[in-house]
Amino acid sequence: MSLERTRRNSPESPPTTTGDKETFDTAISQTSGHKSGTGKHSNEARTALMQQILTRLIQGTKRGGEDDGHELHHVTCDGCGDSPIHGDRYKCLQCDNFSLCSGCFERRAEPKKHKSGHLFVHFRLPNELFGRAVSNNDVTLEKLIEFYAKEVNKSATCDGCQILDFVGLRFKCDLCPDYDLCLKCATTGVTTNDHKLTHPLILTSRRVIVQISINDIELGEKLGSGAFGAVHKARWISKNRPVACKIIVVPD
């Protein structure tokens, strides 16, 4: 039974308040105030109240996530409909304007014509890929092929064609350990050993370290130290994001 239908049939309207605690307390009070019984309306009222509580708690959790240090990608998840996407975002390179949140990616959601074994770009930060600022329109398979046409993947062997130091785009399997494919093998659906067509392939690059200016870091509490320096809590100022910062001491 849907929540909306339950509300229309219940003898009492579910409590509507602005705070999650008020919703919970009011709902418990009203539920306790009902006379015990097994009537249809009594059960429907309790069901509506509990659905209201759960809805408020879920909404509160999502609202709280906006301030949890995760970046906001201003796109909609095509799996669950969440907008904006919090945290990691996965953009499909084989579907038109298609993105998944981390939850839908991990459960291998396949809405519309999308397949879990497609090629993906993994955005950890909005509009930034492998340390470079990019726009959403720049991240297409055609433009990436052009941009990385001369990139040599040193010490990497394609597990499909066995070419060492192959040139161009490099994709890593999200499930198979240390499994790489060149663009040709990735797009032609090569399978070897335990690698299956349903395994997601994620674009990777040797340019994976984000360069952050020292002036863009605000150091905080010291977390620990070792032979080469100390680790501090810190804040990435321009992103307003908590990070860990290791300060390496270079001996004279």
Binding-site entries for ATP? 246
CB 185 within 8 A of CB 161: yes
Cα 213–chain centre separation: 26
Which SS3 state, helix, strand or coil, does residue 123 take? strand
Provide CB contacts within 8 A for 200, sequence distance 6+.
90, 105, 108, 116, 117, 118, 120, 173, 174, 175
CA dihedral defined by 26, 32, 37, 38, rounded to 10 degrees? 50
Cβ burial of 112 (10 Å; 0-12, 13-18, 19+) is: exposed
Binding site residue list: 246
